[in-house]
Structure 1
Amino acid sequence: MTIAGIGLPLTLVAIVAICSLVRKDHVAPIYVINLLISDIVQLSSMIILGQKFSGRTVFSICFMVVISLERYLVIAWPLWYKFKRNIKTSVIVCVIVWLFPILYLPIFFLARYHINIIIACFLLLPFPLLIFFLGGTLKALSSARSVPPDEKRRIVGALVLVLLIYNLLFLPRVIVSLSKKIKQYENIEIVTLLPLFFSPLADLFLYVFMRKGICDKLLASLCCCKMDHDDGTSLETGVTSDSD
Structure 2
Amino acid sequence: MGQNISFNGTTGVNNDTERRIHIPLYFRILSVIEIPVMILTLVALCAVIKSQRSAPVFVIHLILSDFIQIICKLMITSEWIREVDAIFPILPDAFDYSLIAGLYFMACVAFERYLLVSHPIWYKSHHSLKVSCVVSVIVWFVPLIFTFSKYFDSLSVPIGCLIPYPIIILCFVGTRRGLSHAISLTSLKRKLILGRLFLVLLTYTFLIFPIVIMWFFSQIFPQFMFSSFSDVLYFFSHLMFLNPIADCLLYLFMRPDAGDLMKSVCCCCRTDTHQNSTHSRDEHSRDSRATFACCVSVQNPASHSQTACSSV
Same fold (TM over 0.5): yes
What is the CA-CA distance between 1:39 and the residue it aligns to? 1.3
1:15–1:33 Cα contact (<8 Å) kept: yes
Match of 1:66 in 2: 108
**Bigger mean CA deviation after superposition, 91-100 or 135-144:** 135-144
**Bigger mean CA deviation after superposition, 151-160 or 210-219:** 210-219
Partners of 1:75 and 1:220 in 2: how far apart?
27
- TM-score by length of structure 1 reads 0.80
Aligned to 2:250, which of 179, 191, 206?
Answer: 206
Partners of 1:183 and 1:219 in 2: how far apart?
50
Aligned to 1:188, which of 222, 228, 232?
Answer: 232
What is the CA-CA distance between 1:62 and the residue it aligns to? 0.4
What is the CA-CA distance between 1:104 and the residue it aligns to? 3.7
Structure with greater contact order relative to length (CA < 8 Å, sep ≥ 6): 1
Match of 2:207 in 1: 169
Match of 1:8 in 2: 35
1:24–1:86 Cα contact (<8 Å) kept: no
Report the structure number with the largest CA radius of gyration.
2
Counterpart check, 1:114 vs 2:178? no
The alignment-based identity, stated in percent, is 29
1:88 aligned partner, one-letter code: K
What is the CA-CA distance between 1:58 and the residue it aligns to? 0.1
Aligned to 2:48, which of 1, 17, 21?
Answer: 21
What is the CA-CA distance between 1:89 and the residue it aligns to? 0.5
Match of 2:161 in 1: 123
1:138–1:156 Cα contact (<8 Å) kept: yes
Partners of 1:4 and 1:95 in 2: how far apart?
27
Q: Alignment RMSD, CA only?
A: 2.4
Please, which runs of 5 or more residues in structure 2 have no aligned partner? 1-27, 79-91, 270-312
What is the CA-CA distance between 1:143 and the residue it aligns to? 2.8
Q: Deviations over 1:152-184 (max 9, x none)?
A: 211100100000000001000110111134554
Counterpart check, 1:79 vs 2:121? yes
Partners of 1:105 and 1:210 in 2: how far apart?
31
Match of 1:43 in 2: 70
**Bigger mean CA deviation after superposition, 63-72 or 44-53:** 44-53
2:97–2:147 Cα contact (<8 Å) kept: no
Aligned to 1:179, which of 204, 217, 220?
Answer: 217
Counterpart check, 1:152 vs 2:186? no
What is the CA-CA distance between 1:219 and the residue it aligns to? 7.6
Counterparts in 2 of 1:220 and 1:56: CA distance versus 1, 3 Å: farther
1:140 aligned partner, one-letter code: G
1:31–1:67 Cα contact (<8 Å) kept: yes
Partners of 1:219 and 1:203 in 2: how far apart?
24
Counterparts in 2 of 1:47 and 1:125: CA distance versus 1, 3 Å: closer
SS where residue 132 of structure 2 aligns? Answer: helix
Partners of 1:210 and 1:130 in 2: how far apart?
18
What is the CA-CA distance between 1:216 and the residue it aligns to? 4.9
SS where residue 179 of structure 1 aligns? Answer: helix
